[in-house]
Amino acid sequence: MEVGAAGWPSAGGRSGSGYIVAPGLVLTAAHVIGGAAGCTIRPMAPANSPGAPAEPVWVSTELDAALLRFDGALPADLRHARWGRLTGQDSAVPAHCSVVGFVRADDENGDSARDTQGLAGRINPNTGVFDGHYEIELDRIPPQVGGRGLGRWRGLSGAAVFCADVVAGLVTRAPRRWSSTRLQALPVWRLLEVPGFRDLLADAAGRPVATPESVELQSLYERPPHPPRPPSYLLDARQAVTPFHGRDAELSELLA
């Protein structure tokens, strides 16, 4: 999702990236909207889709994150965001991740242009612990993206960081000290600890916000169905909708 503050897409408008995390809610970086009372969002596909108005409903300048509310049709394949967090501590086994956002770069004529940019990288669980952010070490730096540091990745702020199928972070900046080889991301578990943020997500989704899944262990667990299955899915014993009862002998044997 492309996000533009007041004045965008004119030359002076601020813009960045975002991701739909619940019906009618887009997550982005707070500095992308820059305190604007209203902004514009535009889906990644199809290309050149018209923009739609949105308004900030939750902003944290401390965390550099914001939720935008919009009205309108949702993508047909919209899934509720699955949240994740790093739980490992082995530096030899970093978590693989991916990011897709809108990057502004200069073409061969020196004109600024924006297009989608996909990046892959790794997150070492023992890097950036004191700072409270994930440091994404990029696997490959595309040539001639732009300047250095923040300028090289202009427009990528607000993009979601995926580790397999879970959203683990939110891109906030590219530290200059790493010469554009790393991105910094806010762990989503820090957002989910904020009551106001969780309440907005729960109201939009119509259900409580799930606890973040372990990034490293997600492949070991059965994943919830997408899209949600009909009520008959609750008849599956694995859902444990009703307690196990009426088998006292069996229970005693199992607990022995």
pLDDT tens digits, one per residue of 141-165: 766 544 444 467 888 999 999 999 8
56-70 pLDDT, tens digit per residue, is: 999 999 999 999 999
pTM of the model: 0.80
Q: Which amino acid is at 251?
A: L
Phi, psi of 193 (to 5 degrees): -85, -5
Of 2-6, 10-14, 29-33, 152-156, the range with the lowest mean pLDDT is 10-14
189-222 CB burial, b ≥16 within 10 A, e <16? ebbbeeeebeebbeebbeeebeebbbbbebeeee
115-149 pLDDT, tens digit per residue, is: 888 999 999 999 988 889 999 999 987 665 444 44
**pLDDT at 107 exceeding the cut of 80:** no
Hey, which bits of the chain come out as E strands?
2-4, 15-22, 25-28, 39-42, 52-60, 65-70, 84-85, 95-106, 112-123, 134-138, 160-163, 166-173, 182-187, 213-214
Beta 84-85 vs 182-187: how paired, if at all?
unpaired
Q: For 31-43, what is the mean pLDDT?
A: 88
pLDDT greater at residue 249 or residue 166? 166
Cα separation, 17 vs 2, in Å, equals 5
Spatial CA neighbour of 118 closest among 162, 165, 55, 66? 162
- The predicted pLDDT at position 235 comes to 72
Confidence of residue 197 (pLDDT cuts 50, 70, 90): very high
